[in-house]
Structure 1
Amino acid sequence: MQRIDAATIARRYFDPDLTPHARTPDTLDRYLRAMLDDLVQLALRNGSAALASHLKASIKQHGSAKLTAVTLRMVEQASSLAAAAPSPDHQVGLWFRPLVTKRLIGEGIDTLGRLVNFCNSHGGSWWRSMPRIGPHRARVLVAWLRRHEKDLGVTIDADVDTRPLTPALGLGNVVVIGGSIDAPQLAPFERLAIPTALSGEHGTNRARDFAFIRAEHDLSAVHAYLNRYRDRPPTLRAYTRELERLVLWLVIVRGVALSSMTVEDCEAFKDFLKSPTPTFVGPKRPRSSGRWRPFATNGLAPESQAYAVRAIRAAFAWLTSVRYLAGNPWHAVTDPVTVSRETQVQVERALPDALWTTVRAELDARCAGADLGGFTPNADEARQWRIARAAILLMGDSGLRRDEATHALRENLSLAQIKTKRNAKKVVKMKSAETNLKDDPKGGEEGAGDAEPVAVWALTVIGKRRKERTVPVSGAAIAALRAHWQDVGRDFEGPGARGPLIVPIVINGTDASIAKHGDDPAETGQAASAPYAPDALAHLARSAIHRIAGELLGEGVLSHNAHAKLMQTSAHAFRHTFGTRAVAREMPIDVVQRILGHASLQTTSIYVHAERNRMLNAAAQYYAGDQD
């Protein structure tokens, strides 16, 4: 009606992969004309007599109804009388545009009922995990759901909007924490303000001498302490988590300022760590969400409780040393009782060799856009699969932690030439030690060939405790990185190749994302300027594995046990996969230790299953003898 050509309409409003009628301008033109005819027929049946008479006259004169902007609105109003009401079991594609439908289905939201449940469970930040669903589009979707609450038979929660926080007692995004234990007003440190009475300005444990920090109240003093770790993000996150839990508990539950804590308060907080109040507990949410809670739903293990006490004790010790506090009450508090475990690393999370091979083959197929049982990933999906593959191979073939994979840089990746001995093997001789040394002065190596150079990619990363180490990178991982760099328009082999090895292709349209990455790479055609956040990259890898697990189970390729194994797989499991496979292939244990960056060889030794299996086998024979 507005004289826009069909090609422009197809490009702006339709996705050819989801709507076959929009693949060419001619097919779309026929589709739109048929849509208009359907609207006219509905208007003839449901509209007024005057409108019906006008439409019939136009059809008689022109062969089809010629509508003006005014008559088009009249036709739309009349045809809407025959429209169906939305229902919770309706597919989202019946009501939303194809591009929106595609993003929702990608998150497993295929019906209106599931969309409502997803919004209610995630709150105002529900849209952040979905590519190309920004705050404006999210606001439109929520407004539509609210208009149809009566038809859907469900209610959208009041805080499902696009605002980061809705403070009841705050100014802007700053929240003055308080409220009751049953209905607390909570906020993370960066948005938190403490009531004046509990600010600690006149705390009973404040030192009377000159203080070495300019802190007028407790929150300022805590920030001064945390500022010491500004160059160590993982440590900063951990200490911030423990101290904000303490501050929130002190103000809301205990009603005591941090600088007025006594030993009795410390012991009470230890008990609180064992069983936090339900209103302090919730699923993981962004810190900008009004539904953020300081404790996760699965509670704190004894080891985590002990860590919290040690972290708080260290913070109080520093505040005492800079003469902000007169003394440290946590010195009189013992750590929670923990059990010294046989193994500190959950190696059972590692993927078996056959399952790891299957996962890699499935990743390659999806990255190549292969036909997967009637489903072929489109270009955008294939690019996302290539990001996931690069991350998974860096962790699974090089033993990197997710934080290390996130911050790995191209300038720290190089091709090294090393020399190896061809056909070298050890010959064990059944002789005495003296005979061995006399007959085999080279330590038992025979048949060693000439040294020949071998090229190996090496990556230098900064690991835990800010320790630098170098890890090998497989050829498959290098190929995956090259494919990812090609997707973002960067030259992996160029002389000036620098920057993060893995960067986003699509970002959320939030101010924080734009400030970190620049404009949306999908819109500008330029690569993002910053890497993923560790949690975001881990979520991408985990989602990829879960999709593979679901599809292979449906095809009958996976057993239920293998499916359960993949569904429990986290990003850290790929690191364990490398450790177990390296030991199984007889890589020296000290080499595995250096690659994984373990401080103790004892930690690495848990990957050596041979000794444990030998013990269990001997025990089984012993018990079998009792049965005889």
Structure 2
Amino acid sequence: MSAASPTSSVHNLENRSSIKRLTREHFALYRGYLDGVSIEQLHATYGDATTDVRATRRLIELLRDTLSGAARRTRDVEATHLLRLRPGSIPEAQRLAASEMPTLEAYREAVDPNGFHSEAELLELYRAEFPLENAPGVDRRTTRNARLRRRQVDALARMEVSLVQAPQRDHPVASWLEPAIAGRLQRTGIHTLADLLGFVEQRGHRWHASVPRVGPKAARRIVDWLALHADSLRHTLSKRAVTPRRRLSSSDPGLARPRQSGIVPIESLDVPAEIDGSNGTNRARNLIFQCSLNTDLQAIDAWLATRQHSPHTARAYRREGERLLLWAVNEKNKALSSLDNIDCAQYIETFLADPQPAARWVGSAKIERFHPDWRPFVGGLSDRSRETARAILHAMGQWLVDQNYWASNPFSGSPAVAIDARIDVSGRSLDHKQWQSVVRATSRDRYSQRELRDYLALNLAYSTGLRRAELAYATTGRLTHTALRSTIDKGWQLAVPGKGCAARIIPVPQAVMELIFESLRARGLPGDPGACPVDTPLLAHFRTGKSLTPDGLGQVFRRLFSWTAPLSTAQSLADLRNRPNASTHWIRHTHSHYALESGADCREVQARLGHANLSTTLLYVKARRHGQVASGKTGVLPNR
């Protein structure tokens, strides 16, 4: 029987003499047996697909002994006898039409060949079944058999009421699940049903991936069994535990973690009252302009609400505020509003460079926020990242001072972190031969939907110079086209949102637009972007059709670079050494180099790339020159 099957608590029956726990499903199985249902049918309904019919037959024999023994202990003589009757012991009237009333010896041989009952018990049963001395007629036999069958049903019902058990949270998993599955769970540290429920809730729909040798099918049966007994277990599995992650959006309430202390995302953080900031030593005490914010969590939430310029900006600001609050509460055991200049300097200069203990603070970038293994860091921060964090937190501190929440900004005394040039473009772009290697490796005579999407991503990035997130969020609704030299020749442009209301208008070459048309048709959409819903992503997941995340797009480019054939030039060794680090930004640098090489004005390139300062764009001018790249299907040239 499967891990979720009704009688899964009694596997390996040949090694057992009794059943530990009787469930309602056990009684359903035995009721079907007494009703005359074939063993084969009972096995198909209640048995384990990994065993044969003999396992169900042994279970029925064990149930007969267990139920009869329990009835005998309670002095229920009638149930003791009736529950041992085999199917056919209460025959139909047609089979008794020509029969005579049996003798007591014949009756004993028929119903108690093993001498289970005493002489007095057997006589009592005999008289109950055959109250008249003379053989009854057919109608009397029919009435007697119906009465006896009802008594058998009643006897089984009495035993079910007194013996049946429902799974409880403190029951061992070995009492309910098949031994093989229970053993694998126990080796993972899951010993009780409460442990199992907590494990499934924490790990989500793919919880079984953390249990060796428990696959999706077995996990599905276990989850179904837990859902079947939700009332007795006093727990209904959450939406996240029973729904595949791909069917839940990142904002779905089912992904929210319960409020708790420790290293958890800020939206799930429960800060102890004594350090929640309501009485922080750095709280402003201006009675005239009192702040409406009471706790540090409220203050950070209010600050983040004013910094929703773009999804990327919102994530960056939330990340820094979240890290600082978690550090203050868990490492310093202080309210955020009690940190001083020394604490903030230690945080920027020491902790961010090497978050310790690493097991507590550092995790994988692939783990989502709702997962229990989520951590706020993926490693120590570089000097530039620490300077970015300092600047963001300094701005947050100043905002809190302006809101009359903090008395002073503790980050005012933290010196800027010394960093090199903002963008290192040297050696982080592709020359003519390298680019051609990438194009050759990704070109196909015929593309699958996924290959076409990847090839489009490569050419769209190269021809526009967009950042990874900007590529991920590009949609058909942001594409426009206008007449150039005639009403037939159309020029396509892509609007790229910026901070606030600013937006960049990027020209898209016709060759890239042809790839977009082809990609849309391959996805079953109209080839005309204007005929598609405005939120249709240009670069979509090839199975779900939803937008790729920036990280997902980064994986696309890493895969594209991994396909590139090794270069045959003298600098191959150095190129191959750097190639594993190639990223989406390399294509952006390559676009910038070529645009400047082709004579584009620096300010034009600055506007196209979205650089806030011209000095950033001028870094590309100082870099080494690159050869030209052919246009068309062998690599699309950026527009001038």
Structure 1 and Structure 2 fold alike (TM over 0.5): yes
1:38-49 equivalences under 5 Å are none
Tell me if 1:587 matches 2:600.
yes
Mark the runs of 5 or more structure 2 residues left unpaired by the alignment: 1-38, 53-187, 189-202, 216-239, 246-254, 627-640
Tell me if 1:477 matches 2:477.
no
1:166-565 equivalences under 5 Å are 173-177=257-261, 185-208=262-285, 209=287, 214-270=292-348, 271-277=350-356, 278=358, 279-284=360-365, 285-297=367-379, 299-336=380-417, 338-341=418-421, 344-365=423-444, 368-369=446-447, 382-418=448-484, 455-463=490-498, 467-493=502-528, 495-497=530-532, 498-502=534-538, 504-505=540-541, 521=544, 527-528=545-546, 531-546=547-562, 548-549=563-564, 552=565, 561-565=574-578
Q: Contact 2:296/2:337 (CA < 8 Å) preserved in 1?
A: yes
Q: Please tell me the root mean square deviation across aligned C-alpha atoms, in Å.
A: 4.1
Output the CA distance in 2 between the equivalents of 1:334 and 1:359: 43
Pair 70,564 (structure 1): closer, same or farther in 2 beyond 3 Å: farther
Q: Contact 1:406/1:500 (CA < 8 Å) preserved in 2?
A: no
1:145 aligns with one of 189, 213, 226:
213
Q: Contact 1:353/1:581 (CA < 8 Å) preserved in 2?
A: no
Output the CA distance in 2 between the equivalents of 1:256 and 1:74: 56
Output the CA distance in 2 between the equivalents of 1:229 and 1:198: 25
Q: Cα deviation per residue 1:167-205 (whole Å; 9 max; x = unaligned)?
A: xxxx9823433xxxxxxx311212212112211121122
Q: Cα deviation per residue 1:506-537 (whole Å; 9 max; x = unaligned)?
A: 56xxxxxxxxxxxxx4xxxxx54xx3322222
1:53-72 equivalences under 5 Å are none
* SS across alignment from 1:365: coil
Output the CA distance in 2 between the equivalents of 1:71 and 1:290: 40
* SS across alignment from 2:394: helix
Output the CA distance in 2 between the equivalents of 1:242 and 1:140: 33
Output the CA distance in 1 between the equivalents of 2:424 and 2:42: 70
Pair 495,255 (structure 1): closer, same or farther in 2 beyond 3 Å: closer
Output the CA distance in 2 between the equivalents of 1:360 and 1:612: 20
Partner residue of 2:231? none
* SS across alignment from 2:618: helix
Tell me if 1:573 matches 2:589.
no
TM-score by length of 2: 0.55
| Identical-pair percentage | 27
* SS across alignment from 2:423: coil
Q: Cα deviation per residue 1:445-470 (whole Å; 9 max; x = unaligned)?
A: xxxxxx99964322221235763121
Output the CA distance in 1 between the equivalents of 2:484 and 2:279: 65
* SS across alignment from 1:541: helix
**Amino acid of the structure 2 residue aligned with 1:145:** R
TM-score by length of 1: 0.56
**Amino acid of the structure 2 residue aligned with 1:410:** T
Output the CA distance in 2 between the equivalents of 1:143 and 1:268: 40
Partner residue of 2:21? none
* SS across alignment from 2:491: strand
Shift of 1:215: 2.3
Q: How many correspondences in the alignment?
A: 399
Q: Contact 1:408/1:461 (CA < 8 Å) preserved in 2?
A: yes
Partner residue of 1:597? 610
Structure 1 stretch displaced more, 537-546 or 396-405: 537-546
Q: Contact 1:402/1:572 (CA < 8 Å) preserved in 2?
A: yes
* SS across alignment from 2:495: strand
* SS across alignment from 2:427: helix
Shift of 1:75: 11
Pair 611,230 (structure 1): closer, same or farther in 2 beyond 3 Å: closer
Q: Contact 2:474/2:539 (CA < 8 Å) preserved in 1?
A: no
Output the CA distance in 2 between the equivalents of 1:476 and 1:70: 66
Mark the runs of 5 or more structure 1 residues left unpaired by the alignment: 1-66, 79-118, 120-133, 148-160, 165-170, 178-184, 370-381, 420-450, 508-520, 522-526, 614-628
**Amino acid of the structure 1 residue aligned with 2:274:** A
Pair 540,400 (structure 1): closer, same or farther in 2 beyond 3 Å: same
Output the CA distance in 2 between the equivalents of 1:403 and 1:222: 25
Q: Cα deviation per residue 1:478-516 (whole Å; 9 max; x = unaligned)?
A: 122112211222213265432244253456xxxxxxxxx
Output the CA distance in 2 between the equivalents of 1:579 and 1:264: 43
* SS across alignment from 2:405: coil
Please identify the structure whose Cα radius of gyration is greater: 2
Shift of 1:250: 0.7
